[in-house]
Amino acid sequence: MTINNLIEELLLFSDKIITLKAPVSEESIIAFERNHNIKLPKDYIELVRKINGLSLMGTIIYGVGEETWEFSLDKNYKLEHEEVANPMYDYLIPFSPDGGGNHYCFDTRYIDDDSCNVIFWQHDYPYTVDDPPEITNPSLTEWIKEVVIDWTLEDYNYDGSEKFKPNT
């Protein structure tokens, strides 16, 4: 599955339940990478060139550029690396919050085939070399398909109506 395929499926969701932000400028992508001395995965860059952040039924993907909205990759990178009790490792980029202080992050140590592993960072857990954060997906595309699209479609239709679930 490609980012374009995922965007096509995201566009099937009603505007009542999804917010898609306008594409980001190349300058904002370059500025983020330069300011944090880190490379963004190419699949994420491909996404934000078309949709610079989104929110679907409470699941958020941050956009690049502090001006984007309150869900900014820039603001949250700084917060999670400099202003919390348990700061993230420098190579992690938090791109999606879980609503409880934790984040899904890009593990940029190993960018392969234009993507990298997505890990789950629990904000209050003392990770070690022998006990690192959990890898949840091997790429952003697989994460979007599973977490953003499939998990939403378990309970809701594309129009936002709840799916009927018979009592078992």
Span 113-137, pLDDT tens digits: 789 999 999 999 999 989 999 999 9
Q: What is the pLDDT of residue 114?
A: 82
Examine residue 124 and state whether it is found in any structural domain, yes or no: yes
What is the token pair recorded at 80?
């999670």
Examine residue 168 and state whether it is found in any structural domain, yes or no: no
Confidence of residue 168 (pLDDT cuts 50, 70, 90): low
Query: What is the total count of domains within the chain?
Result: 1
Examine residue 32 and state whether it is found in any structural domain, yes or no: yes
**Cα(148)–Cα(6) distance, rounded to whole angstroms?**
10
pLDDT at 71 over 90: no
Q: What is the pLDDT of residues 3-57, one digit of tens each?
A: 999 999 999 999 999 999 999 999 999 999 999 899 999 999 999 999 999 999 9
Examine residue 167 and state whether it is found in any structural domain, yes or no: no
Examine residue 137 and state whether it is found in any structural domain, yes or no: yes
pLDDT at 95 over 80: yes
Full residue range of the structural domain in which residue 11 is found: 3-155
- Are the beta carbons of 141 and 1 closer than 8 angstroms? yes
Examine residue 70 and state whether it is found in any structural domain, yes or no: yes
Examine residue 166 and state whether it is found in any structural domain, yes or no: no
Q: Which residue has the higher pLDDT, 136 or 1?
A: 136
Confidence of residue 67 (pLDDT cuts 50, 70, 90): low
CATH code for the domain of 53: 3.40.1580.10
- Are the beta carbons of 52 and 64 closer than 8 angstroms? yes
pTM for the complete prediction? 0.91
The 10 Å Cβ neighbour count of residue 168 is 3
Which run of H or of E encompasses 156?
Answer: none
Confidence of residue 66 (pLDDT cuts 50, 70, 90): low
Q: What is the pLDDT of residue 69?
A: 58
User: Residues 75-86: what's their mean pLDDT?
Assistant: 91
Examine residue 59 and state whether it is found in any structural domain, yes or no: yes
Rg (CA), the chain: 16
